[in-house]
């Protein structure tokens, strides 16, 4: 039997790919906590767990009429972001895949009522939530990326995640789940962005969004995932990235409302041009996820 051995909500903010000098210049002469947090996640968590596979829920891989799962044997190349081509350019990536697991996850998600398909097209684009985090976290494991259906509602994300969790349990893989994205995710207007680039959360797009994030961070620390799921209609007013689908799929794979794992932060709660950024890791409790 396969199992999920760890899970995390992990920020992929473009600032993590900047040089140290540029990060310090942007953040009033200080390091952003996201970068040392990623190094700690690699050494303190992933190097210890040694997963067979990382399944990453990519909040920038937008699909419309279905969910998709990357089913390649290997993905390799150079990545330049069309969104930020100066800051993220020609980043090398070389990721082993897991076609059988990807196909099984798509089949189980579809069986749970949401059309999901494995895609192994060699021309399929890759996105920086996957590239940025693999740059910091990659070891010898396989990497499988799951799309975010932009037209989906919370119930759809939960069904896809439940199917993915079932497929992992039926496999022979030890899997880590990564929800690659932020919490509230509203940018400042173009002309105001230069005034709000430092990491201090005072620069989050609104006080209400910041307080909604803090409330959910408290629930993460308590292992109260039911509260996060149950209050999604309210949280959507604060524009969480990708309708928080990356978190919802991860949570559902680990048990949904019955998931009790407590979160521990591997970074501060930080701003990035109005959006929230944080790393929260959920270790598997000795008694199991539920």
Q: What is the pLDDT of residue 267?
A: 98
Give bridge partners of residue 143 from the DSSP assignment: 54
> Is 36's pLDDT higher than 90?
yes
Token pair 């439940």: residue: 162
pTM tops 0.85: yes
> Is 290's pLDDT higher than 90?
no
Residue 24 burial (10 A CB sphere; 0-12, 13-18, 19+): middle
For residues 23 and 144, the answer to whether their CB atoms sit within 8 Å is: no
For residues 216 and 235, the answer to whether their CB atoms sit within 8 Å is: yes
Instruction: Tell me how far apart the alpha carbons of residues 154 and 244 are, in angstroms, rounded to a whole number.
Output: 8
DSSP three-state, residue 1? coil
pLDDT per residue as tens digits for the range 142-181: 999 999 999 999 999 999 999 999 999 999 999 999 999 9
Alpha carbons within 13 A on the beta-carbon side of 217: 22
pLDDT per residue as tens digits for the range 39-87: 999 999 999 999 999 999 999 999 999 999 999 999 999 999 999 999 8
pLDDT per residue as tens digits for the range 83-137: 999 989 999 999 999 999 999 999 999 999 999 999 999 999 999 999 999 999 9
pLDDT per residue as tens digits for the range 171-227: 999 999 999 999 999 999 999 999 999 999 999 999 999 999 999 999 999 999 999
For residues 109 and 160, the answer to whether their CB atoms sit within 8 Å is: yes
DSSP three-state, residue 78? strand
pLDDT per residue as tens digits for the range 12-33: 999 999 999 999 999 999 999 9
DSSP three-state, residue 227? helix
Q: What is the pLDDT of residue 288?
A: 87
- pLDDT category at 38 given cuts 50, 70, 90 is very high
Instruction: Tell me how far apart the alpha carbons of residues 70 and 106 are, in angstroms, rounded to a whole number.
Output: 10
Give the angle subtended at the CA of 251 by the CAs of 68 and 182, to the nearest 5°.
75
DSSP symbols for 229-266: HHTHHHHGGG-BGGGGHHHHHHHHHTTGGG--PPEEES
């Amino acid at each position: 039997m396969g199992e999920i051995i760890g899970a995390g909500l992990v920020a992929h903010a473009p600032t993590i790919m900047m040089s140290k000098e540029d990060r310090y210049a942007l953040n009033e002469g200080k390091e952003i906590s996201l970068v040392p947090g990623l190094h700690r996640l690699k050494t303190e968590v992933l190097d210890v767990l040694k997963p067979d596979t990382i399944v990453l829920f990519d909040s920038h891989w937008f699909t419309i009429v279905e969910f998709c799962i990357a089913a390649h044997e290997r993905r390799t190349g150079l990545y330049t972001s069309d969104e930020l081509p100066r800051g993220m350019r020609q980043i090398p990536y070389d990721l082993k895949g897991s076609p059988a697991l990807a196909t099984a996850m798509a089949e189980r998600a579809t069986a749970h009522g949401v059309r999901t398909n494995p895609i192994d097209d060699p021309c399929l684009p890759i996105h920086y939530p996957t590239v940025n985090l693999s740059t910091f976290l990659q070891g010898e494991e396989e990497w499988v990326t799951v799309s975010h259906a932009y037209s989906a509602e919370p119930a759809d994300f939960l069904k896809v995640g439940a199917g993915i969790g079932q497929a992992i349990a039926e496999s022979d893989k030890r899997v880590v789940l990564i929800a690659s994205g932020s919490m509230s995710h509203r940018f400042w207007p173009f002309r105001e962005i230069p005034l709000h680039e430092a990491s201090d959360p005072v620069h989050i797009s609104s006080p209400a969004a910041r307080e909604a994030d803090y409330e959910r961070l408290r629930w993460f620390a308590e292992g109260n995932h039911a509260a996060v799921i149950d209050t999604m209609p309210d949280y959507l007013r604060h524009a969480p990235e990708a309708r928080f689908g990356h978190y919802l799929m991860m949570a559902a794979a680990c048990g949904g409302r019955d998931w009790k794992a407590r979160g521990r932060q591997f970074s501060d709660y930080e701003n990035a041009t109005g959006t929230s950024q944080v790393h929260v890791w959920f270790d598997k409790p000795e008694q199991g996820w539920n």
